[in-house]
Amino acid sequence: MADKHHKQDAQNTQDEQSTPTPHASPEAEAPSQSATLPPQTNFPIVGVGASAGGLEALQEFFRHIPADSGMAFVVVTHQPAAHVSLLPELLGRHASMVVQEVKAGTKVELGHVYLSQPGMHLALIHTVLQPMKDDASHASLQFPIDYFFRTLAADQKDRAICVVLSGTGTDGTLGLQAVKGAGGMCMAQSAQSPRFPGMPGSALATGLVDYVLPVEQLPAALLSFVQGPYVQEAAVPTGKGSLSADHLRQIYVLLRQHTKHDFSAYKTSTLRRRIERRMNVQQMQTAEHYITFLREHLYERDLLFQELLIGVTSFFRDPEAFEVLATRALPELLAACSEAQTIRVWVPGCSTGEEAYSLAILLREMIIFAQQDLLTDPPFTKLDLLSCRNLLIYLDADVQKQLLPLFHYVLNPGGLLFLGSSETIGGFSELFSTVDTRWRVFQRKDSLASQSLVEFPVSPA
């Protein structure tokens, strides 16, 4: 069972023809070089992934990037180990920036293009590039572009930017999802222009790409984005947002009218940043202009709706947490059940399903996906396990206080509550006992207190 509205992400497949182009023309002249650029110690780092046919695309891309773009670039390609790469020389002929292959401990500097080593994975930690061996370790289970994009998202968070160019296969897609989940910006070469459209096509199928353009038009859109208020305010925090409470309420109304979903119970800080990112993509300078744009363009309401859903998930996320569940909590639960008893599990906010599938693998059982609003629809009941990880942190405190008694109410006696590592049961220790403190596994206490605390519906009318 899964709640598809309050899921953390949406896998909304859409082809390139249905992907709206940015409001501002990407073919417009690049921003004036006199414009204010980010401080040299806090500049955007752009990850660029390419594979088959990628040399031509990379050369065309960097031909249109000025030396003083205010960014640094990290290029990850598919090259076998022991291969002598000519990419630094071939790309250096077309780039106006310094092009160099990454060595261990390379500090990312403004105005540089860094190239991954053949046969190595590349990680970013505190703006330092670290090559990682591609051996029989866990790292080798990930494609190199996905691997770097994920570390880019973890390191730069909502300032991360990734670009997917020509290549076969699907490398870059999972990493792109991580960048978008962190609030970053994603670009892809349009499917008609690359010699090998597999990688860009796979990225587009996620519905998460912000700019879909021919490779020669991507740089102008990128330059416009990084010189917009979303990136500039992140570089020099002012503490002032462009969206007031009144602006947010107007946007909530428009989204509720269009999608039937209410975001007013979400944490304002999270929503404000993601709305401002969408404003920057559409080159909207004021909240009033963006609200007008939302009224006039229904497709932008769909894109903003997807933007506000959180999409950070993976199979067996936090393996140690699942180890506790598999070796301690679940065996005790199963031992208390009869052989004829059906184990009922609910995973609200299941995103693309990895969490639900992970639990099904532990039990080897069947999954039913259902569309449900956790905050307004009647809950599933008589549950043995409720896994709601990394969803409560995006909801305001009052809603969290309403949901926890609800979770107690729907669990069977002795049922398990599985939360995210940043979430707690707050002041409801009379409802749940702790199975594992670190990994937030709790067990339902036999208490009647929750019946008087449960409120329906949870979210405001």
Write down the H helix ranges in 260-376.
Answer: 268-281, 287-296, 298-308, 319-324, 330-335, 354-363
Residues 80 and 216 in one domain: yes
Residues 297 and 421 in one domain: no
**Domain end residue (candidates: 184, 199, 227):** 227
Residues 16 and 164 in one domain: yes
Domain stops at, among 266, 285, 308: 308
Q: For residues 249 and 362, what is the distance between their CA atoms, to the nearest angstrom?
A: 42
Q: Which residue has the tokens 């594979």?
A: 51
CB-based contact 225:247 (threshold 8 Å): no
Residues 6+ apart with CB under 8 A from 29: 220
Question: Would the pLDDT of 241 be above 60?
Answer: no
Q: Which of 118, 130, 108, 121 is nearest to 46 (CA)?
A: 108
Q: Is residue 302 part of a domain?
A: yes
d(CA 49, CA 78) in angstroms, rounded, equals 9
Q: 410 in a domain, yes or no?
A: yes
Report the range of poorest mean pLDDT among 150-159, 162-171, 425-434, 441-450: 441-450
**Would you state the pLDDT for residue 352?**
79
Give the DSSP letter string of 16-59: GGGSPPPSS-TTSPPPPTTSPPPPTTS--EEEEE--TTHHHHHH
Asked if residue 39 lies in contact with residue 236, where contact means CB atoms within 8 angstroms, the answer is yes
What's 184's DSSP letter?
-
DSSP 102: -
Q: Given this model, what pLDDT does residue 306 score?
A: 87
Q: Does any domain span residue 460?
A: no
Q: Is the dihedral of CA 409, 412, 414, 420 positive or negative?
A: negative
Which span out of 92-101, 294-303, 350-359 was modeled with the highest average pLDDT? 294-303
Question: Is 313 inside any structural domain?
Answer: no
DSSP output for 379-432? PP-SEEEEEE-SSGGGB-HHHHHHHHHHHHHHEEEEEEEEE-TT---TT-TTTE
**Same-domain status, 217 and 253:** no
Helix (H) or strand (E) holding 99: strand 98-101
Torsion from C-alpha of 142, 388, 460, 305, nearest 10 degrees: 10
Q: How confident is the model at residue 15 (pLDDT cuts 50, 70, 90)?
A: very low
Element housing 204 (H / E): helix 198-205
In a domain, 85, yes or no: yes
Residue 314 lies in a domain: no
pLDDT value of position 251: 96
For 259, half-sphere exposure in the C-beta direction (CA atoms, 13 angstrom radius) is: 25
pLDDT at residue 375, rounded to an integer: 83
Residues 61 and 204 in one domain: yes
Please check whether residues 324 and 347 belong to one and the same domain. Answer: yes
Judged against a pLDDT cut of 50, whether residue 10 lies above it is answered with no
What pLDDT digit, counting tens, does each position of 34-59 carry?
A: 344 444 558 999 999 999 888 999 99
Could you tell me the CA-to-CA distances from 129 to 37, 176, 182, 402 in Å, in that order? 23, 19, 19, 44
State the pTM of this model: 0.73
CATH code, 406: 3.40.50.150
Q: What is the pLDDT of residue 11?
A: 33
Task: Give yes or no for residue 7 having a pLDDT over 60.
Answer: no
- The answer to whether residues 105 and 153 belong to one domain is yes
Of residues 262 and 192, the one with the higher pLDDT is: 262
406: domain range? 319-453
- Residues 251 and 342 placed together within one structural domain of the fold: no
* pLDDT for 17: 33
- Tell me, yes or no, whether 1 lies in a domain: no
Does 343 reside within a domain? yes
For residues 294 and 426, membership in a common domain is answered with no
Q: Is residue 388 located within the same domain as residue 416?
A: yes
CATH assignment at residue 88: 3.40.50.180
- What total of structural domains would you count in the chain? 3
CATH code of residue 277: 1.10.155
DSSP annotation of 266: B
Which CA distances in Å does 282 have to 21, 48, 179, 246, 405?
9, 22, 18, 21, 41
Specify whether 179 is located in the same domain as 250: no
Averaged pLDDT for residues 105-132: 93
Give mean pLDDT, residues 177-197. Answer: 87
pLDDT value of position 88: 82
**pLDDT tier at 361 (50, 70, 90 boundaries)?**
very high
Structural domain ending residue among the three candidates 227, 260, 275? 227
pLDDT score, position 74: 97
pLDDT in tens, 296-308: 999 999 999 988 8
My answer on whether 407 and 439 are in the same domain is yes
- In angstroms, rounded to a whole number, what is the distance separating the alpha carbons of residues 321 and 436? 9
pLDDT(203) > 80: yes
More confident residue, 233 or 150: 150
